[in-house]
Amino acid sequence: MPSKRDGLLIPARSHSRLAERVSQRILSTVRPIESLRFRVHIEVDGLGQPFKKHLDVGPRACSLPLGNLDLPSSQFIKDCKKNPNRVLIAHPYNPPHIMPLVEVVPNSTTSKESIDTAMAFFTALGKAPILLRQEVRGSVANRLQAAISHEAFSLVKRGIVTAKEIDNLGPSWSFTGPFMKDVLGGGANAGGFRHLMEHVGVTMQDWLKDVVAHSYEYTDENLNVLDSSVKEMLAGVDIERLEEERNNLMIEVFKAKASAKALV
């Protein structure tokens, strides 16, 4: 398992520097380096080959975790002839210095060694990486968030609730995920999930039909409705202080959850 020192993330500021970093057996991540991230897009769009060329440089033991949700690694390794098995996507979540989640997304050619190296690396950093077994647009957490946001947008647009009221709902997912929430809601035992779904599953299906019937459309007019509600919510709010308090509370929540013995 790599140590934090061994796994130091050193910015890769150019194609030549990236090759140099790889040759030094350093795990390099593209995500924080926006300039290089955009250059990767340019190369993939067919305007050049330098980045792809450098994927073939360096020792086989070095993995290349790249951070981009809209560009699966399988799309830009086609011209990587020697070591495509070193490439995978590693996507953290904001604020990345606090959130433990990192989604590790290999492509069909990524080797088990590279996957294990990436998982061990992020674990050594104190993160909680999860392995996605297939490439999927947007990754898992963002897709779940998109579904929730999509319905929230619809409810605000229809005038059922305001943005502030949505944000005050206080979901319990900070402590348990959606499946464990249903286990507890269904009786807090091994059969709890099935019991709850047998009783509310059909009803939930009716809710989803209504959700689809009132699906939010991304138009300027609808955005104006949402933006108006958000601005109303922000009236008198010190956003900088809010962010600081949010970050501090997140740290305390994660510390408290880490001290729990059975909570997953």
Residues 48, 67: Cα–Cα separation, whole Å: 20
Whether 5 maps to a domain, the answer reads: no
Q: Which of 73, 100, 131 is the last residue of a domain?
A: 131
The answer to whether 104 and 136 have CB atoms below 8 angstroms apart is no
Residues 7, 28: Cα–Cα separation, whole Å: 9
Domain count, the chain: 2
**Mean pLDDT of the 15-28 span:** 41
Which pLDDT value is given to residue 264?
67
Helices (H), 43-139: 50-54, 112-124
Strand partners, 61: none
pLDDT level of residue 45 (50, 70, 90 thresholds)? very low
Instruction: Decide if pLDDT at 58 tops 70.
Output: no
In the structure encoding, which two tokens stand for residue 10, read together?
């050193």
More confident residue, 180 or 19: 180
pTM: 0.68
More confident residue, 239 or 14: 239
Q: Which of 131, 148, 180 is the last residue of a domain?
A: 131
Instruction: Decide if pLDDT at 168 tops 90.
Output: no
Out of 29-33, 87-91, 208-212, which region has the weakest mean confidence (pLDDT)?
A: 29-33
More confident residue, 195 or 169: 195
In the structure encoding, which two tokens stand for residue 100, read together?
């433990």
Question: In terms of domains, do 118 and 190 share one?
Answer: no
Question: In terms of domains, do 27 and 123 share one?
Answer: yes
Which pLDDT value is given to residue 241?
96
Catalytic positions: 103
The answer to whether 126 and 2 have CB atoms below 8 angstroms apart is no
| CATH code of the domain containing 70 | 3.40.50.720
Q: pLDDT tens digits for 139-154?
A: 888 888 889 989 999 9
Instruction: Decide if pLDDT at 16 tops 50.
Output: no
Domain limits at 114? 15-131
Residues 88, 75: Cα–Cα separation, whole Å: 11
**Mean pLDDT of the 155-168 span:** 91
Which pLDDT value is given to residue 1?
41
Q: pLDDT tens digits for 71-127?
A: 788 887 776 777 788 888 899 988 888 889 999 999 999 999 999 999 999 999 999
Q: Which of 131, 151, 185 is the last residue of a domain?
A: 131
Question: In terms of domains, do 172 and 69 share one?
Answer: no
Residues 211, 150: Cα–Cα separation, whole Å: 9
Share of the chain above pLDDT 70, in %: 72
Q: Phi first, then psi: what are they for 102, rounded to 5°?
A: -135, 125
Whether 126 maps to a domain, the answer reads: yes
In the structure encoding, which two tokens stand for residue 95, read together?
């604020």
